[in-house]
Amino acid sequence: MRALAPLNSVPLAGTEGSSFPFWSADSQSIGFFADGKLKRIDAAGGLPLTLCDAPNGVGGTWNREGVIVFAPNSGSPLHRVSASGGTSRPITIIDSARHEITHRWPWFLPDGKHFLYWAGTAPTEGDIRVASIDSPGSDSRIIIPSQYSARYSQGYLLFVRGNTLMAQLFDTKRLATTADAVPVAEQLQVVGIARSGIFGVSTNGILVYSRIGATSARLVWFDRSGKQIGTLGQPDILTAVRFSPDRKSVAIEISDPATRNTDIWLYDVARDMKTRFTFDPAQEREAIWSPDGRSIVFNSNRKGHFDLYRKPSNGVGTEELLYADDKEKYPTSFSPDGKWLLYMVYLDPTSKNQLWTLPMEGTLASERKPVPFAPSEFNLSWGQFSPDGRWIAYASDESHRNEIYVAPFPGPGAKKQISTAGGDQPVWRNDGKEIFYIGADRRLMAAEVISKGDVLGLGAVRPLFSLIGSYYPGHTYDVSADGQRFLMRTSVQVGNSEPLTVVQNWTAELKK
């Protein structure tokens, strides 16, 4: 937390591993998400108080009557809970007839009854809607179409169009815009996967935002002690990191802030040089290599949903559609023999996030029939085949926060829990003797694995080092074959610009 006058920021003890903080209406407390829970803490400090479950919270808002509306999960409706804590209950209904898949980023209007929120109809499309806590599940209406969340302050609706922060007069009685939108700030930084612009606004005329270019990320090599031992490439807006089987190349995602497009690029590790791999104007993400290194599977939303595609890794030849349906699919791992592709169905409000296996021996996309892996009422994500193909490591929120589990493939058989204090993004060592994962406290963990045929034994679980920079979902690191080095996406600040811009009395220019 930082006051406007001093230059230093003050950490709030007890908020380690937290995300998406939001203020109480009286500015005396802060709500936040951590350890699979919604929590609150006094702005002056003290011990945090756990309010309720929130496995993967995506935004909250807090009115003067002590009601908190929040998104407990990326694919769930919004919930409400008392600021004193208790059991939360749904307050919106995800409308499958409108192809909605997520509700997130609520924001109370001044009456403390109505609230704005973003309703996603695809990972990159949606609407700003308004609803009321007095009419849970009904009377929701669309305000404007938008790819990102919105907020309200001093008579204006603030939202993002492209990379421009826009303001539009908004009548809180009629719950409707009343004039054309006008730009407030150019080159606004956005978090695409979260569907939110990096800006904040107060009730007394202060606006704060971050511009594109102020922050970025780069690939950094670490040893097991956390010492930085090298870098790969230059800072960029990059996300997922995947080694080729021979560890000579790396597939990454790079986003273009001007077009809001994401493509896959390949790094030659020895030459420290990147080349572009995908060129479609749609989004291409989550590249994984085939076991022989000859092809790369990725997802793309060029047909309206994130479907699975394959392309030769040398870039020569056409892309092949592997599998398409009406779900959002993220490839996560190949079986070592190349016969099965493991993928995650993401943001599905009817069945939650689940893992599926796709047979790769059919010649046509229509011949490939996916099979669910370990069907569950909970969210399963980021599955990884073991090097011998007998096991799959994955994250599940069945304990109300993500933990790492291992289950036999193809089954049946009982799963075993690997992590004990939260875990995400599992990666196997090349010889199958360790599973690495990111703990809830943002430390890289190493779990010893002892496998003898159909029996899996677990040894010590050790923290290796704390991660640098902000959390990003997906596979933001990968491991050398011997498990001694880690290539990680690490947030950096580039250029000489300040990361945040503060504007006082920001509505003055709009009224001229």
| Residue 384 parent element (H or E) | strand 380-385
Amino acid (1-letter code) at residue 439? G
Highest mean pLDDT among 56-65, 162-171, 496-505: 56-65
E strands within 150-198? 150-153, 156-161, 164-171, 176-177, 182-185, 190-191, 196-197
Homologous superfamily of domain range 215-493: TolB, C-terminal domain (2.120.10.30)
**Mean pLDDT of the chain, nearest integer:** 88
What contacts 259, CB < 8 A, 6 or more positions away? 281
- Token reading at 16: 């380690």
Confidence of residue 485 (pLDDT cuts 50, 70, 90): very high
Output the pLDDT for position 201. Answer: 94
On the question of pLDDT at 264 being above 70, the answer is yes
What contacts 96, CB < 8 A, 6 or more positions away? 349, 350
Q: Where in the chain is the domain with CATH 2.120.10.30?
A: 19-213+496-511, 215-493
Output the pLDDT for position 76. Answer: 85
On the question of pLDDT at 209 being above 80, the answer is yes
Output the pLDDT for position 469. Answer: 60
Q: Model-level pTM?
A: 0.71
Alpha carbon distances (Å) from 154 to 215, 226, 484: 29, 47, 54
Q: What mean pLDDT is predicted for residues 416-422? A: 89
Q: Look at residues 434, 472, 395, 12 and name the one whose alpha carbon lies nearest to residue 238.
A: 472
Output the pLDDT for position 401. Answer: 77
Q: What mean pLDDT is predicted for residues 116-128? A: 84
Q: Are 23 and 30 in contact (CB under 8 A)?
A: yes
- Cα distance from N-terminal residue to C-terminal residue, the chain: 34
- Cα(364)–Cα(386) distance, integer angstroms: 27
Q: Are 431 and 387 in contact (CB under 8 A)?
A: yes
pLDDT tens sequence across 304-323: 788 999 999 999 988 999 99
Q: What mean pLDDT is predicted for residues 9-20? A: 88
CATH of 19-213+496-511, one of 3.40.228.10, 2.120.10.30, 3.30.470.30, 3.40.50.150: 2.120.10.30
The rounded percent of the chain whose pLDDT value lies above 70 is 93
The mean-pLDDT minimum among 15-29, 349-363, 488-502 falls in 488-502
Q: What mean pLDDT is predicted for residues 228-246? A: 90
Output the pLDDT for position 497. Answer: 47
Output the pLDDT for position 346. Answer: 76
Q: What mean pLDDT is predicted for residues 85-96? A: 92
pLDDT tens sequence across 486-509: 999 987 755 444 568 899 999 988
The mean-pLDDT minimum among 96-110, 248-262, 431-445, 488-502 falls in 488-502
- Token reading at 324: 């398409």
Output the pLDDT for position 496. Answer: 44
The rounded percent of the chain whose pLDDT value lies above 90 is 58
Output the pLDDT for position 317. Answer: 85
Sheet holding 423-428, edge to edge: 423-428, 434-439, 443-452, 455-466
Output the pLDDT for position 213. Answer: 62
Confidence of residue 136 (pLDDT cuts 50, 70, 90): confident
The mean-pLDDT minimum among 122-126, 149-153, 312-316 falls in 122-126
Confidence of residue 348 (pLDDT cuts 50, 70, 90): low
On the question of pLDDT at 388 being above 90, the answer is yes
Output the pLDDT for position 473. Answer: 65
Q: What mean pLDDT is predicted for residues 482-489? A: 95
- Token reading at 483: 């498990």
On the question of pLDDT at 60 being above 90, the answer is yes
